[in-house]
Structure 1
Amino acid sequence: MKFILGLLYALLFAWSAGNAAAHALDPGYLEIRQISPDAWSVHWRKPDVNGQPMAIDVVLPDSCTPASGPDPMSDGRAWVSSWIVECRADVAGQSITIEGLETQKNDVLFRWHPLQAESATLRFTSDITAQRIPSEQTAWSVFIAYFQLGFEHILEGWDHLLFVFALFILVRDPWRLVGAVTAFTLAHSITLALATLGVLNVPGPPVEAVIALSIVFLAMEIVKGGEGRFRLSKQKPWIVCFGFGLLHGLGFAGALAEIGLPSNDIPEALLAFNLGVEAGQLSFVGALAVLVLVWRFTALPISQTATLVTAYGIGSVSMYWLIERVGGF
């Protein structure tokens, strides 16, 4: 019982931290596009932190002026500024820096679009705040950058993780759990691709609210699981997970839309982001499975009371999200 409660408290603590700084976990985005031999357009998107732009700034190569743009304006999710710079020399091979990123927890994705060369993608982190602008880039580097973004997105998406955690508690049969996770993956892959490519266009706030509602549903199914009646969520969980996976895929697509896709490498970036999401999800499930095995080998079996307490905790958190998100329409 202590083990499950410990997991619950850890998730609740993580949720509190994530909820307090949800926008701060969104990646920054910098795009520099060449419009003439000496002129470049700069689009700089800074994450929102408690209603203010994150304390990071882009430092362009010395040959480019002006070095900074106008004050950013909020678009409701981030702080955006755009301007034109003139560069006296070829900027390929010169350094670009994200100042202040070393004190932050999130990343900045950089897209580079020269006129006479292939576009390039770089990823800045708190450990890598300065990089040289490449003269060329391979599809593999794009794949790695978007895979890492997908992996980190799922591990920072507390609502998606809480859904998987509830599913893990609900479905005790290992093969049914594998089938449910596979159905969830297939479904969110479909809607992620369709929404990202513009085939589907669903407003973000209702999607986020229904994602919270899906967690409430699983929490209720955990509570009612001991009644002895046939429950679709336990007997055929892949059906339920496929339906909810379609909704979660729209949530992933919203996050990917905030980051942006490279116009010349959309298939590679989309595949890499989706694989990164799946890798993060499987890592979470694997960690839960290891913890449960360790607990069962070293202590008493998990009691029904602990399961119910955990379910009510999951339901409480997800109901709070649901009310908050509906109220934000």
Structure 2
Amino acid sequence: MADERIVRLADILVNHSLKVQPGEKILINGSTSAIPLIREVYKSVLKAGGYPHTNVEVPGLLGTLMREGTEEQIGYAGWTELLFYHMDGYVNILSEENTKELTNVESRRMTLRSKARRPALEHLMADKAKWVLTKFPTQGYAQDAEMSLEELENFIYGAANVDYAEIERSMQAAAAKFDAASKVRIVGSNGTDVTVDIEGRKGIIAAGRHNIPDGEFYYTPNFRKTEGTIFFEWPTTYRGREISGIRLVFREGQVVEATAQKGQEFLEEALNSDEGARYLGELGIGANYGITRPTKDILFDEKIGGSIHLALGQAYEQGGPDGNKSVIHWDIVKGLMDGGEIYLDGELVQKNGKWVF
């Protein structure tokens, strides 16, 4: 008998996130580790009248391609485009067993693959097809989160299987305050004092449409106007590598100084991916107070109530005009629960991670 938590998650993905309609073609992507969830999503798509198609990946093959493939093979994105451009919806189930598989792959080869896949990903980010991303608990993720597999299962399903309609209602009042403002000033620990410009932008409320779990609202900034310094205490992982103690200094929107207590070389490589990598593509505000601790997993950490995150690189097209362009989109999260403050056009609206209006 299937785990009822998995059945519930599949129902949320198909009927809440994608709202699958009869006749729609739905791509379900995940590794063999996620077969229990792939199976339930497949069943749910059938019940909704859709046409499910699975793309089940074998763990380790991507690492083989990145280490042994030629640059032409790494840069081939034909299969991705074939699938993405002919589907009405896409369920992507992250389910890595070895999260460090790509750690020693040259940054140049990773960038080559990112550039090749960019058109297909922009197709999704522009909402030209419905999509949702979720995570299936594996031993690899459990090790990264410093949990047992059972603890991770409880954590993931507890965060994912929630009432997203209620979470959406709780975010609307805060987003309305931000929508009416021009300058967002974030003050916090270790010298953090950074101002992000969102004049003319409207927040996107994320309540289970694209991410499960969810609970954030976010903006596409006027990326040439970011000013100040921010320090991120929480470790983050990007492309399989852990970076911690990141300090960024912005002048006229651009990162002009960047240091990390761990992962300095990779931080510099990411910032040098292209011109847009040194500018912001997103300002996000976490609003899911049911997620109380960071796990070095951006899908969860960026939703933590009382946190903010900045994304270096590509902006979401639906977030506003003239957004930043880049081959990277790297979310980095900072908790504001310990002395942090958010000001909107000079008005204090959050202190110690709690709204004060």
TM bracket, shorter-chain basis = under 0.3
Whose RCO is larger (CA < 8 A, sep 6+)? 1
Structure 2 length-normalised TM: 0.24
Write 1 or 2 for the structure with the bigger share of strand. Answer: 2
TM-score normalized by the length of structure 1 = 0.26
